[in-house]
Structure 1
Amino acid sequence: MKIHDRLRSAREGVQGDRGSYAVETAILAPVMISLLLLMVGFGRVTEADGAVDSAARAAARAASLERDAGSAQNAARAAAERSLLGEGITCTVSSIEIDTGGFSLDLGVDAVVTARVACTANLSDIGLPGLPGAKTLTASWSSPIDTYRGRS
């Protein structure tokens, strides 16, 4: 086989692949975009989960520093809301529950305050078919009440 014949067959092989890049792009582009959107959704859920956990921790700690159940409830709610706002998380529905039963125990008895925070993170703006429109994330955290500090 002469060199001239080899070059001709090589050119014909290249011309037979015409348009294959367009077909590959048309097939792979939606897959790549879907993967990117899935990563954005996963990142958003992970960030919101960390923020809810941080809010529960802040609420429990703020409640444990108070001397009575009423002020502990107020301080915990305010701390959880500040924590969520500070993290930049906007919950469509949120609930903050504080268990202040430890304040009714006698002085010298180990007691804790438990905070439960639930937040529904919005995912509907991502626009990926099959992805839920919202995800509810919950976290619970306990903090000890000073055993020998006066309680009301």
Structure 2
Amino acid sequence: MRRLVRTARRRLRSGERGSAAIEAAVGVPAFLLLIGLVFAGGRVALAGQSVEAAATEAARSASIARTETEARSSAIAAAQRSLDEKGLNCTPGVALDTSDFGNAVGVASSVSATVTCNLGVRDLAVPGLPGTIRISKTMESPIDTYRER
């Protein structure tokens, strides 16, 4: 009886040889892919917050300006400055809606700024992830109702 049990144990042990290597060969790449996706998600979330802050700064700077031309130049500068402070390496595209600058004094008006940034994620080497992700945020800021325009 003992001999039969020993023989059965030996057969079970020899049948499982190499299974740890196969499990590692399947598990490790899946784990690395998961880690890469976590890093990509974190990078996109932080970049989204930075672009939103840049859009807020651009809209605020434009709403303080006296003319449409001054509003455009100050919005672009504010967006770039904000992204530089956050450490986001991209050249922003700033679209500004200054159509309310033509409203009469006393009429509620606002300026909206849309900041767009292409975030590079190629260095993460995650399969199926594009080389760049486009992030765009729009914010609005009121123009002083009784300010001369």
TM over 0.5: yes
CA offsets, 1:89-117, max 9 Å, x none?
Answer: 112x5311122222221110111011011
C-alpha separation between the residues in 2 aligned to 1:129 and 1:16? Answer: 34
Alpha-carbon distance in 1 for matches of 2:62, 2:6: 82
Structure-1 residue corresponding to 2:92: 94
Query: Identity rate of aligned residues, in percent?
Result: 39
Q: Is the 8 A contact 2:96 2:114 kept in 1?
A: yes
Contact preservation (8 Å) 2:80, 2:92 = no
Question: Which structure: greater helix fraction?
Answer: 2
Report the CA distance between 1:118 and its aligned residue.
0.7
Return the alpha-carbon distance in structure 1 between the equivalents of residues 97 and 76 of structure 2: 12
Unaligned ranges ≥5, structure 1: none
Q: Give the TM-score normalised by the residue count of structure 2.
A: 0.89
User: Counterpart in 1 of 2:20?
Assistant: 21
Taking the TM superposition and a 5 Å limit, the aligned residue runs for 1:58-73 are: 58-73=57-72
User: Aligned letter for 1:128?
Assistant: V
Query: Is structure 2 residue 143 aligned with structure 1 residue 145?
Result: yes
Provide the rounded CA distance (Å) in 1 between the counterparts of 2:7 and 2:144.
89
**How far, CA to CA, are the matches of 1:25 and 1:40 in structure 2?**
22
Q: Count matched residues.
A: 149
Match for residue 76 of structure 1? Answer: 75
Tell me by how many angstroms 1:7 deviates.
6.1
CA–CA distance in 1 between the matches of 2:128 and 2:46? 21
Alpha-carbon separation, structure 1, partners of 2:92 and 2:59: 16
Counterpart code for 2:58: A
Task: Say if 2:116 is the partner of 1:118.
Answer: yes
Residues 111 and 142 in structure 2, CA contact (< 8 A), matched pair in contact too: yes
